[in-house]
Structure 1
Amino acid sequence: MNKYLFLLILAASTAHADPFAKGDATNGKNLFTKYDCNSCHKGKVGGDGNAIFTRPDRIVNSAEMLIARMEQCSGAIGKNLPAQEKLDLAAYLNQKYYHFK
């Protein structure tokens, strides 16, 4: 019986894997500050730029959309972010705001 329970737990944890598991959320937080991401967000939502992540009509509704949106945002700041930086930023944003599985 324990063998089956283990397999069920393993299957459930695999089905809900973090899409940005190879990203470093701590570095992502540092990059978010370094690139001053909220400077643009404040102009779009006013006040606290982080409100862009939690607004009811937010554009990002999946892990794939988060990456696509980050591509647009990096262009807005005139940067071509390396793949690992994108992954780190996505890991941070997902951990703090989105919680995509």
Structure 2
Amino acid sequence: MKLLQLKLCFALVAIFGLNLYASASPDIANGKKIDEQKCYACHAKKTGFGNGDMIYTRSDSKVKNLQNLKSMVAMCNTELRLDLFPEDEADVTAFLNQQFYKFKK
């Protein structure tokens, strides 16, 4: 009986450990997809030029560091009810940082 419990315990640790490892690194491709589907159109309207990317590269950007970027993505998710999971927020943040901001991690 104890051997069975021990095997079950190791199996659960292995399964959950792999899931934690998998979610530890952001999925840039997923972040890009979410940006295109849920962010770009609204940002294109806000800039007034039909180019959603301009919001990330404007000179008066409120985003000055990686923490600001994370907070802004989270705020957009909450305020606009985008229904993103925390992992999705991390993916979007990673994509935007790689594509536009280039903040050090």
**Please, what TM-score do these two structures have when normalized by structure 1?**
0.71
SS of residue in 2 equivalent to 1:29: helix
Per the alignment, residue 82 of structure 2 pairs with 79
Per the alignment, residue 46 of structure 2 pairs with 44
Deviation by residue 1:5-27 (Cα, 9 ceiling, x = unmatched): xxxxxxxxxxxxxxxx8211111
Report which of the two structures shows the higher radius of gyration computed on alpha carbons: 2
* Percent identity (aligned): 34
Shift of 1:51: 0.4
Give distance in 2, aligned partners of 1:41 and 1:76: 14
Unaligned runs of 5+ in 1: 1-20
Unaligned runs of 5+ in 2: 1-23
Q: Which has the higher helix share?
A: 2
Runs of 4+ in structure 1 displaced over 4 angstroms?
A: none
Q: Residue type matched to 2:101 in 1?
A: Y
Q: How many residues align?
A: 80
SS of residue in 1 equivalent to 2:56: helix
Q: Residue type matched to 1:23 in 2?
A: P
Q: How is 1:13-92 mapped onto 2 (pairs within 5 angstroms)?
A: 22-35=25-38, 37-47=39-49, 48-92=51-95
Shift of 1:77: 2.7
Shift of 1:79: 2.4
Kindly report the root-mean-square deviation, in angstroms, between the aligned alpha carbons of the 2 structures: 1.5
- Larger relative contact order, structure 1 or 2 (CA cutoff 8 Å, min sep 6): 1
